[in-house]
A and B are shown apart, each in its own frame.
Chain A
Amino acid sequence: MKRIIGILLCAFSISGILWAETLSIAQIDASSLLLSQEVDLYLSATDEGGDSIEGLELEDFSVFESPDGETYEPVPALKKLEAKPNQQQGIHILLLIDNSGSMYDTLSGAPTETVPEMRITHAKEAIRDFIDSSFNPRDVVSMASFNTFLTFHSEAIKDPSALEGLLDTIREPEKEQAYTELYHSLADSAVEMAGYRGRKVVVVLSDGENYPFFQHSGESHPDYGEELKTPEDVTRDYQMEGITLYAIHFGLSRDEYLGQIAVDTGGTVYDARNEEELSAVYRDIKRKIENEYRLTYRAAMIPSDRTHVKVEYTRGGEQVSASRYYFTSTIFGRPADPYPYLILLLIAAAVLVWVLLLLLRYRKLNSSAALSVLNAGYSTKVSSMTIPLTQNKTIIGGGERADLTISGLPSLRPEHATIVHDPKTGSYTLMGDSAITVNNRKVSGSKKLSDGDVVNVEGTTIVFEAGEETGKGKKKK
């Protein structure tokens, strides 16, 4: 097996990616950040031959954080390093298979009508072999194929062997469906995977390059319209959703950017030339994921909506590093820089307004007796809301000559009620009939008023205010 993988990796054409030890941050879990200030990094370390590096210790690692991805600072503490953490929580693997027209040629690229010779047949057999291998009971697998369209052949299922029968639902596309919407399909797969928790991996098998329908047919795509996805779009989507992409080139040509997308998302890129090599690649991917490390560290308090994290380890004198970011947005967000000290004056201004509200006097007591209208009756108008009782005789009525005119009520007499002041005793007496109430009681003839009495004249409510001099008599001495 190792010999085959070595051959595959040696055949890999993107220089500089797999010729040295590599470290990738496959996923960042910051769900414990608020309660414990801890962040988990899922790390994948491989040697020059592409094999997982085992036996790494916590002391081998250093972790740094940065608000901008440029200026890094060491994190306060590394807490623990755990090998093979995915055995506990399981993995969600999406097998994404190229089902474009070229997959129905032979491995050497020649057209054929013989099904066993078709590239797709070899791919299906390798996948059958893969899904027959041992899986963790917590693992889930789903399957999709793509050409002009992305088609999901299964939901996430816990028994991968159930996918065997579904492989036959991948059928040769019609001519207009034979385009290769590689980037769109990768992006849509990320959306599909986004709803799942835990460790998420997409393994894409492709025999060619991104060959969009819109770009090459000149027509608008039924689903994507005229939108074209770039490799950067795909990388960003995968990084944001915490999904790792593993890419397998299974054919004579390969997409120029697929390998870089895989590396940038924490995955690896492979070449496979036949069914045996392809089976070996699938098993290697699974082993790599199973052999990941979980590094737990105490995060720094960096004011930033997203915090970049860089992890390094040194082995055999060689230093390897990887970086990604996670979201650390707080409710109020980032601080103002520099702090505008003048805004502190707002506190003084607020307190000043508060004091003004405290000092505000809302209503002065009338110095002399008065009538104050509390509510005008329905569809009526009053000539004044307050009238002083300065005369010996004050008339309330519907006529214009009344001191307090209530208009709009035909039933109201011109002189409906009269308040008579006795200067000798200082008292005020209401003269009226039963159409008037004082303190909700009908008046029969006359009624001596006291401070705060409520007079109701055909629905208009009036308060008698005795004034400061008279009112003082009511207060406690």
Chain B
Amino acid sequence: MSISIRRLILVILGVIAGAAAWPLIELLLTFQRVFPSYFSFSLAQGIIFGAVLGAFYGSGEGLTSKEKGKILGGALTGIVTGIAGGVIGFLAGQAVLFLVIQYTFSSFRTHQYIVIPLARVLGWVILGVAVGASEGVRARSLKKCLVGAAGGGIGGILGGAAIEYLRAIYPDLIYARLVGFVLFGLFVGLFYSLLERRVSLGVVRVLNGGKRGKEYSFAQNRLSLGSAPRNDIVLEGYAGVAPRHASFRIRGKDVYIEKESDQGRVLVNEAPVRKSHLLKYEDVIQVGSAKIFYKTE
């Protein structure tokens, strides 16, 4: 799968995540009176919304790579980080609505047209940041976290603004909230993808075997290769590949391939690599029997 299709799938995941979260949130809202306080009510909203979005986004990597372990692990990590983001986002947003407004701006006019929408959008941004960062958390990559957070944040701004704008125009139209949710999911997925592309130093494409055609973006400082499922590029089914065979590493604007195992060989353009090798575009890297092509996006 090319990187473009992978990103398109992330956007689709965002859309269906928003669509799936909407009925649950609508259901929760009908139980507002059951909650003892606005605090617990906000917590519940954050947990449900964050968990649903986190599950869909988190499963994205595994879904596109067709690796069952990553689907489940990513979804679980996504749920955890999504819940964290949802809780923080909702409490922050609700706090701004109830608390900060009262202590900073005391004008209702400012509330109605600026502060309340901004406060809500702030909540969406925090939620988007947390959900966007979830894949980075799963991959244990700070850079990927930051890319995801920034993409999710921008998506959160636009998606959150869409929700607020639609609510303002159609306050009694229930489907306005659905459209808002879907746009939120779409924008988070879209801007995550766009930003990933912008910071990426290129992609690597597997040329042969079971992973033929699969592309991976350099949106993180390290991409590990090996036959074990914990690797970023899982080369299962290839001859001569060690569980943790090698890694692509970013140093500044340079990409290196580094050997991490003495068991197998690493070749770049058919020449053996002893420890580390600086890559240039169109280099062909061979890890065991797997061939990988380094190219621009």
Q: A interface vs B, CB < 8 Å?
A: 29-35, 37, 191, 194-197, 200, 237, 240-242, 300-303, 327-337, 339-340, 343-344, 346-347, 349-351, 353-354, 357-358, 362-363, 365, 374-375, 439-441, 451-454, 456, 461, 463, 465-466, 471, 474-477
Contacts and interface: CB of A to CB of B under 8 A. Distances in A.
A391 to B, nearest CB: 22
Contact of B293 (A196, A237, A454): A454
B1 interface: yes
A451 B38 contact: no
A373 to B, nearest CB: 13
A333 B26 CA distance: 10
A306 to B, nearest CB: 11
Interface in B76-118: 90-91, 93-95, 97-99, 102-103, 105-111, 116
B69 interface: no
A343 B29 CA distance: 14
A452 B291 contact: yes
A474 B5 CA distance: 27
B146 interface: no
Nearest to A476: B239
A234 B289 CA distance: 80
A332 B103 CA distance: 22
A446 B263 CA distance: 31
Contacts of A452: 207-209, 212, 284, 291
Contacts of B270: 439, 441
A333 B177 contact: yes
A343 B23 contact: yes
24 contacts: A31-B102, A34-B95, A194-B108, A237-B108, A301-B33, A331-B97, A337-B30, A343-B22, A343-B26, A343-B178, A349-B19, A362-B213, A363-B1, A363-B213, A440-B282, A440-B284, A452-B207, A454-B207, A454-B293, A465-B208, A465-B212, A474-B289, A475-B209, A476-B240
Contacts of B39: 34-35, 37
Contact of A327 (B71, B111, B207, B208): B111
Contact of B212 (A30, A240, A357, A365): A365
A372 to B, nearest CB: 9
B174 A336 contact: yes
Interface of B: 1, 5, 9, 12-13, 16-17, 19-20, 22-27, 29-30, 32-39, 41-42, 45, 56, 59, 63, 66, 71, 90-91, 93-95, 97-99, 102-103, 105-111, 116, 120, 123, 167, 171, 174, 177-178, 205, 207-210, 212-213, 237-240, 269-270, 282-284, 289, 291, 293, 295
Given A195-B106, A301-B41, A330-B38, A357 B9 contact: yes
B1 A34 contact: no
B12 to A, nearest CB: 7
Contact of B109 (A191, A336, A365): A191
B180 to A, nearest CB: 10
Contact of B208 (A329, A344, A349, A474): A474
A344 B25 CA distance: 11
B30 A347 contact: no
A475 B284 contact: no
Contacts of B13: 354, 357
Given A197-B103, A331-B42, A346-B23, A353 B16 contact: yes
B56 A30 contact: no
Question: Which residue, B13, B63, B71, B98, has most C-beta atoms of chain A within 10 A?
Answer: B98
B32 A191 contact: no
B12 A463 contact: no
Contact of A35 (B17, B99, B212): B99
Closest 4 CB pairs of A and B: A452-B208, A452-B207, A194-B107, A335-B29
B59 A354 contact: yes
Given A31-B102, A330-B42, A353-B12, 5 more contacts: A343-B26, A346-B23, A347-B24, A357-B13, A363-B213
B281 to A, nearest CB: 9
A332 to B, nearest CB: 6
Contacts, number: 206
Contacts of A333: 29, 167, 171, 177
Given A242-B106, A365-B212, A330 B207 contact: no
A184 B269 CA distance: 81
Contacts of B36: 37, 301
A440 B269 contact: yes
Contacts of A329: 97, 116
Given A303-B32, A354-B13, A241 B174 contact: no
Contacts of B94: 34, 330-331
A432 B98 CA distance: 74
Nearest to A463: B207
B1 A303 contact: no
Given A191-B107, A195-B107, A454-B207, A350 B17 contact: yes
B276 to A, nearest CB: 18
A375 B295 contact: yes
Given A33-B98, A439-B270, A241 B38 contact: no
A454 B120 CA distance: 52
B152 to A, nearest CB: 17
B89 to A, nearest CB: 9
A456 B177 contact: no
A346 B38 contact: no
Question: Which residue, A34, A441, A453, has most C-beta atoms of chain B within 10 A?
Answer: A34
B166 to A, nearest CB: 11
A329 B108 CA distance: 13
A37 B171 CA distance: 26
A431 to B, nearest CB: 18
Contact of A194 (B59, B110, B212, B240): B110
Contacts of B38: 33-34, 37, 301, 328, 330
A335 B123 contact: no
B111 to A, nearest CB: 7
B269 to A, nearest CB: 4
Nearest to A339: B30
B161 to A, nearest CB: 13
A194 B209 CA distance: 69
B37 to A, nearest CB: 4
B284 A454 contact: yes
A31 B94 CA distance: 11
A374 B295 contact: yes
A194 B213 contact: no
A471 B213 CA distance: 14
Contacts of A30: 98, 102
Nearest to B173: A336
Contacts of A300: 33
A241 B26 contact: no
